[in-house]
C-alpha cells in the first residue's frame, strides 16, 4: 500500500488531510475511507466514507449522525494510498 507524503516536511494533522481530500482535487473523495477509534464495537474502530462528512469545525468533524473529534481518527485511505496515519498506530487490524 502506497503512503502519501507529508506537508512541507512536517507531520500534518488529520484535519489537514481531510481538507486536502475534500478541496484540493488530488483525490476522489468518494474513493476515500476514514477509520476512527470507537470503543465498544468489535475491534474498537469504525470506518466511514469521507463523503459522509457534512461539516468540519476546529476540533470536530460532523456526519448526519455523529460529531467526532479529530483526535480519534486512526487512518485515512484513498484507494490503495494511505493519506494519513496516526503516529504509533498499528493498522494491521484493519481488514481491507
pTM reported for the whole predicted model: 0.85
Please give the grid coordinates belonging to residue 4: 502519501
Report pLDDT for 61: 97
User: What domains, with CATH codes, occur in the chain?
Assistant: 2-87 (2.30.30)
**Residue owning grid cell 473529534:** 69
Report pLDDT for 35: 96
Report pLDDT for 43: 84
Residue 7 has pLDDT above 80, yes or no: no
Report pLDDT for 3: 53
Residues in the chain: 96
Residue range 34-89, pLDDT digits in tens: 999 999 998 889 999 999 999 999 999 999 999 999 999 999 999 999 999 999 88
For residues 73 and 90, the model is more confident at 73
Count, in order, helices (H) and strands (E) of the chain: 1, 8
Report pLDDT for 4: 58
Distances (CA, A) of 24 to 17, 29, 36, 94: 10, 10, 23, 27
**Phi, psi angle pair for 35, to nearest 5°:** -110, 135
Report pLDDT for 90: 86
Amino acid at each position: 500500500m502506497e503512503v502519501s507524503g507529508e506537508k512541507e516536511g512536517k507531520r500534518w494533522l488529520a484535519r489537514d488531510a481531510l481538507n486536502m481530500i475534500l478541496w484540493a482535487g488530488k483525490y476522489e473523495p468518494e474513493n476515500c475511507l476514514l477509520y476512527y477509534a470507537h470503543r465498544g464495537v468489535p475491534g474498537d474502530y469504525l470506518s466511514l466514507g469521507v463523503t459522509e462528512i457534512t461539516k468540519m469545525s476546529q476540533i470536530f468533524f460532523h456526519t448526519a449522525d455523529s460529531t467526532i473529534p479529530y483526535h480519534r481518527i486512526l487512518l485515512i485511505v484513498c484507494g490503495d494510498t494511505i493519506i494519513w496515519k496516526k503516529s504509533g498506530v498499528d493498522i494491521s487490524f484493519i481488514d481491507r
